[in-house]
Structure 1
Amino acid sequence: MTIVVDGIRFNVRLDGPETAPVLMLSNSLSSNLTMWEPQMEALTRRWRVLRYDQRGHGATQVSPRPFAVDDLADDAVGILDALGIAKVHFCGVSMGGMTGMSLLRRHRARVERAVLANTAAHMGPPDLWNQRIRTVRAGGMEAVVDATVARWLTAGFRASAPEAVASIRAMILSTPPEGYAACCAAIRDMDQRESIRAITSPVLVIIGAHDPATTPQAGALVEAAIAGARAVTLDGAHLTNIEQPEAFSTAVADFLSAMP
């Protein structure tokens, strides 16, 4: 379905029992809602799963103006408002996790429990992001796809799962370059290292043991900054939900189902 928030058309999908509690999933940079397919069978057993494509990704419209990570969190709230959903569990990978941190800071009444996977509260230096923006504007997503796949997936997984790798590669190539560039700028300008100390909701941090992008150290900093947060480390790189789908799904389900 299409939902308009802040003048932008968002691609949104709901799966699972209509009467079940809602779990909102938020995608990473240069991906779309199909990145969650490995989790859908397990998660829809217990939850009404709400997926959406972030700004400028998948079938969601590219924003006509610059924006910040806080705007991405407001997008999530706008989708919930349009659907009449008061409160959700939340799970986001990478940029989706950054969105989740802002959501927990600024809209805490809307989230019960949150999973922040393969993410960071700050990602420098700015020159890294500026270079990616220049590269993709000059050469399209073809200019960044190989490096992205190498960061996202370990060499062992890339060698053993060519079909999965091909699917991920196609997803990256389908991302609008200007959507990618705008989100790169939002990540470049983000610094939530101090502000996430105000988060009081239950949080699970999922870390990839071999993640070169949002490193284990970055994940540990998020865990340490949020009072009561827990962490689990999975044997994978940046997309642990792809490399370790069962372990990822189990970690999410166990945490969201835990008693207070």
Structure 2
Amino acid sequence: MQFISIGGITLHFDHRPAGRGGRHLVFINSLGTDLRIWNEVAGALGGSISTLVYDKRGHGLSDLGATPYAIEDHVGDLLGLIDHLGIEDVVLCGLSVGGLIALGLADRRPEIVGGLVLCDTAHKIGTADGWNSRIATVQEDGIAAIADTVMKLWFTPRFHAERKAELDGCRNMLTRQSVAGYAATCAAIRDADYTRTAEAIAVPTLCIVGDQDGSTPPALVRSMAKIIPGSQFEVITGAGHIPCIEQPAMLVALITQFLARLPSE
């Protein structure tokens, strides 16, 4: 395990360089998850490119920090980690709220971003009423109160029927997150609108969504892809909101093809 303090926040991360320096593929996880969701994808890609995964504040083994959060707080944490590691060229792969963090980082430090993979995310996610209701529920009753509903958004009916042990494990991962960190990140998503940032993206961008995503449906992700100049839009069949768990091989194939088309470092 690797840990670093960034601005008084201890972050848990896993840095796997493929060589000295060079481009890094940086994975940013979703709300209510930790860096383990990327195990299969990062493992499959790690031989050809350096990888970095981490637990954002309030999640996994990272510190809670002061609440509430803004997406820019998460952006600052990740930038601090990237700078500490001396990384100067990144491709950001953000899932759900991770996509908002990726957009925020690309806006703040465009010179280090060589490409974006925006997975099951959007420039604006959900409504204030929806997020406020979720925050109130978890603060009063805990994350377990919404866990079954979230699992239906994250995974397809087939996953529920055929991969029960994995489903149980993912539910455990969700319910064992910090309530305060979860609620604070909900508030950050509620308050974030990266429409103008998305419209100004000037690097190659791949937008991906599971065909059965209940959190950021294909139509929403497609709407983001339409406003990002020159972006590529792809749908993964047989996946919900977390394709890196449900269909990792398909996600790896799309990312591999995308990386191969990027300009040289």
Q: TM-score range by the shorter chain?
A: over 0.9
Which among 233, 251, 254 is matched to residue 254 of structure 2? Answer: 251
Q: Following TM superposition, where does structure 1 have runs of at least 4 consecutive aligned residues deviating by more than 3 angstroms?
A: 18-21
CA distance in 2, matches of 1:132, 1:149: 15
Alpha-carbon deviations, 1:198-224, whole Å to 9, x = none? 110111000111112111111111111
19-28 or 146-155, which deviates more = 19-28
CA distance in 2, matches of 1:64, 1:217: 35
User: What is the match of residue 222 of structure 1?
Assistant: 224
CA distance in 2, matches of 1:16, 1:41: 12
CA distance in 2, matches of 1:4, 1:44: 25
* 2:214 counterpart SS class: coil
Is 1:63 aligned with 2:65?
A: yes
CA distance in 2, matches of 1:153, 1:243: 7
CA distance in 2, matches of 1:221, 1:118: 12
* TM-fit CA distance, 1:70: 2.1
Task: Describe the shift of the 1:128–1:241 C-alpha distance in structure 2 as closer, same or farther (beyond 3 A).
Answer: same
Which among 40, 57, 61 is matched to residue 38 of structure 1? Answer: 40
Task: Describe the shift of the 1:249–1:133 C-alpha distance in structure 2 as closer, same or farther (beyond 3 A).
Answer: same
Alpha-carbon deviations, 1:50-98, whole Å to 9, x = none? 1100110000111213221122222211111111111211111111111
* TM-fit CA distance, 1:48: 1.5
User: What is the match of residue 235 of structure 2?
Assistant: 233
1:98-247 to 2 correspondences below 5 Å: 98-235=100-237, 236-247=239-250
Letter in 1 for 2:44: A
Gaps of 5+ in 1: none
Alpha-carbon deviations, 1:202-255, whole Å to 9, x = none? 110001111121111111111111111101100111111212110001101110
CA distance in 2, matches of 1:6, 1:67: 14
Letter in 2 for 1:5: I
CA distance in 2, matches of 1:114, 1:146: 31
Alpha-carbon deviations, 1:103-155, whole Å to 9, x = none? 12221112111100000111232111111111111122211211111110011
Letter in 1 for 2:46: T
Whether the 8 Å contact between 1:104 and 1:201 is mirrored in structure 2 is: no
- Identity fraction in percent: 33
User: What is the match of residue 4 of structure 1?
Assistant: 5
Whether the 8 Å contact between 1:133 and 1:184 is mirrored in structure 2 is: yes
* 2:195 counterpart SS class: coil
Gaps of 5+ in 2: none
User: What is the match of residue 13 of structure 1?
Assistant: 14
Whether the 8 Å contact between 1:53 and 1:60 is mirrored in structure 2 is: yes
Q: How many residues align?
A: 260
* TM-fit CA distance, 1:184: 0.1
Letter in 2 for 1:8: I
Whether the 8 Å contact between 2:32 and 2:173 is mirrored in structure 1 is: yes
CA distance in 2, matches of 1:63, 1:225: 34
* 2:60 counterpart SS class: coil
Which among 48, 51, 55 is matched to residue 49 of structure 1? Answer: 51
User: What is the match of residue 22 of structure 1?
Assistant: 24
Whether the 8 Å contact between 2:207 and 2:221 is mirrored in structure 1 is: yes
Alpha-carbon deviations, 1:150-197, whole Å to 9, x = none? 110011111111122122112112210100000000000111123321
66-75 or 47-56, which deviates more = 66-75
Letter in 2 for 1:229: S
